[in-house]
């Protein structure tokens, strides 16, 4: 079972609404987005709002669950009227029981943070229509159940620009927990950045089959480096194990294998080998949701079209590895490499330093109008996931060539259900 986001089960599922009722700026909107009713707005109650979080893993993973818990604490600190609680290590089978226990304790807002929690959350929302439910990374909604997500594909693209300049072997390794659309989307974004700087480089992917698996992650990293010859690494796994492998490798062999931090600030685990990475700040999202619940803007009657899709422009995600407050943070040692590397902006033809290009792309994507998106054609690859899927309204079977024409930007559904890999990605079977 692929834990929090097992999209293998729903590759062809429909996905609705984006970032409704949130101060999001630019968003990838589907054909129709309905506004959340704003009238009437009841005055806030004097009693505390009780909100509970259901986590799929341990807070100590220093990855997915850790980042969500930092967001919970931020919301609790910001709002004196808020009381919070949480439970760890809840898989799909335990979800409804955990929800019922919180409801019996008087909790009125329930956050479930795993894709695997989706069906149990929907069942509970149907059973308890006066309770607010917010589910992370899913697509099922109803009057009292909304969905939310903070996505990293833009930051992975920026990490890819860096990786393309750092590799000497033209082999870059990727340790993947599960090859579901979310992870495929991130690998492809990473690969687009790499190809923009270094068209000869390839990304070699090993799937380890678990979100929290430090030993498997280190084994995969070792295989990528020692057997395949990768000299740069990235990963989607909820511990710093891949970074610890690279730091240990440097200390033992004197060879640096740069590795990009994931989800939480992991720089301290590999100060010699971490150029940068991705950080997620769930706090802004949780505060927005809870403020709207408390004020009465959100009710248990109007959540069906509320689906948060937070990108760089919202401040919920960023480039960094040193702290949750990072904003385009790059290790000074590696920043000097990027400053000394000359590249060409594929959009303008200008010659500039890689550092200048990284900054340009960062602010283009951070702009409310998102002047650049990595998933803009021309793009070419092959369908990989399951028996097939759809891109730009066209059906593809496993192995079919997928092409995105020049100038066409993929929308929300094509990103959310991505099941194809770009040509410079090599999945190890």
Instruction: List, for residues 296-314, the tens digit of each pLDDT value.
Output: 999 999 999 999 999 999 9
Alpha helices (H) in 232-366, listed in sequence order: 241-253, 283-295, 332-339, 354-366
* 137: three-class secondary structure by DSSP: coil
* 344: three-class secondary structure by DSSP: strand
The dihedral through the CA atoms of 98, 100, 104, 108 has a sign that is: positive
CB atoms within 10 A of CB 93: 10
CATH of 3-151+280-317 among 3.10.20.600, 2.40.50.140, 3.30.70.380, 3.40.50.2300 = 3.40.50.2300
399: left (phi over 0), alpha (psi -120 to 50) or beta: left
CA–CA dist 264, 208 (Å, integer): 20
DSSP state of 330: -
Q: Which superfamily is assigned to 153-278+324-427 in CATH? A: Response regulator (3.40.50.2300)
* β-pair type (425-427, 202-207): parallel
Alpha helices (H) in 170-226, listed in sequence order: 181-197, 214-223
Torsion of CA 370, 372, 376, 382, to 10 degrees: -100
The pLDDT tens digits for 180-217 are 899 999 999 999 999 999 999 999 999 999 888 999 99
CB–CB of 279/66 below 8 Å?
Answer: no
Nearest-Å Rg of the Cα atoms of the chain is 21
Per-residue pLDDT of the chain (429 residues; tens, 9 = 90+): 443 333 333 333 333 333 333 333 323 333 333 334 443 344 555 689 999 999 998 998 888 899 999 999 999 999 999 999 999 999 999 999 999 999 999 999 999 998 889 999 999 999 999 999 999 988 899 999 999 999 999 999 999 999 999 999 999 999 999 998 999 999 999 999 999 999 999 999 999 998 889 999 999 999 999 999 999 999 999 999 999 999 999 999 999 999 999 999 999 999 999 999 999 999 999 999 999 999 999 999 999 999 999 999 999 999 999 999 999 999 999 999 999 999 999 999 999 999 999 999 999 999 999 999 999 999 999 999 999 999 999 999 999 999 999 999 999 999 999 999 999 999 998
CA–CA dist 21, 33 (Å, integer): 10
- Considering only CA atoms, which of 273, 308, 384 is closest in space to residue 139? 308
Same topology, domains 3-151+280-317 and 153-278+324-427? Answer is yes
Q: Domain spans of the chain? A: 3-151+280-317, 153-278+324-427
pTM above 0.85, yes or no: yes
The pLDDT tens digits for 332-389 are 999 999 999 999 999 999 999 999 999 999 999 999 999 999 999 999 999 999 999 9
* 316: three-class secondary structure by DSSP: coil
State the Cα angle at 164 between 66 and 282, rounded to 5°: 20
Partners of 83 in the beta sheet?
50
CA–CA dist 311, 280 (Å, integer): 10
């Amino acid at each position: 079972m692929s834990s929090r986001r097992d999209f293998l089960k729903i590759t062809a599922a429909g996905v609705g609404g984006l970032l409704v009722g949130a101060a999001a700026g630019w968003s990838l909107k589907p054909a129709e987005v309905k506004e959340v009713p704003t009238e009437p707005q009841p005055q806030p109650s004097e009693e505390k709002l009780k909100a509970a979080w259901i986590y799929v893993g341990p807070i100590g993973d220093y990855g997915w669950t850790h980042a969500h818990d930092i967001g919970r604490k931020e919301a609790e600190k910001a709002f004196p009227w808020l009381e919070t609680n949480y439970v760890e290590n809840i898989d799909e089978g335990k979800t409804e029981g955990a929800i019922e226990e919180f409801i019996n304790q008087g909790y009125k807002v329930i956050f479930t943070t795993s894709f695997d929690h989706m069906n149990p959350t929907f069942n509970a929302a149907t059973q308890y229509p006066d309770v607010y439910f917010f589910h992370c990374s899913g697509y099922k909604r109803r009057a009292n159940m909304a969905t939310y997500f903070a996505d990293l594909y833009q930051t992975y693209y920026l990490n890819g620009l860096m990786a393309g300049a750092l590799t000497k072997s033209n082999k870059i390794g990727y340790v993947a927990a599960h090859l579901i659309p979310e992870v495929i989307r991130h690998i492809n974004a990473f690969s687009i950045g790499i190809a923009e700087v270094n068209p000869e480089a390839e990304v070699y992917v090993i799937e380890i089959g678990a979100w929290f698996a430090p030993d498997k992650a280190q084994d995969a990293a070792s295989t990528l480096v020692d057997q395949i010859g990768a000299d740069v690494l990235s990963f989607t796994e909820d511990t710093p194990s891949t970074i610890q492998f690279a730091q240990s490798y440097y200390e033992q062999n004197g060879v640096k294998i740069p590795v990009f931090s994931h989800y939480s600030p992991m720089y301290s685990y590999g100060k010699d080998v971490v150029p940068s990475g991705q950080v997620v700040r769930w706090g802004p999202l949780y505060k927005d949701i809870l403020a709207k619940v408390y004020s009465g803007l959100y009710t248990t009657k109007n959540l069906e079209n509320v689906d948060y899709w937070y990108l760089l422009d919202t401040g919920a995600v960023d480039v960094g590895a040193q702290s949750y407050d990072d904003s385009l943070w790059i290790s000074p040692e590696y920043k000097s490499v990027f400053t000394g590397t000359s590249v060409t902006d594929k959009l303008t033809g200008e010659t500039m330093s890689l550092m200048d290009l990284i900054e340009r792309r960062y602010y283009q994507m951070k702009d409310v109008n998102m002047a650049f998106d990595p998933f803009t054609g021309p793009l070419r690859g092959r369908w990989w996931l399951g028996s097939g899927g759809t891109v730009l309204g066209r059906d593809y079977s496993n192995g079919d060539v997928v092409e995105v024409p020049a100038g066409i930007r993929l929308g929300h559904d094509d990103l959310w259900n991505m099941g194809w890999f770009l040509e410079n990605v090599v999945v190890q079977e």
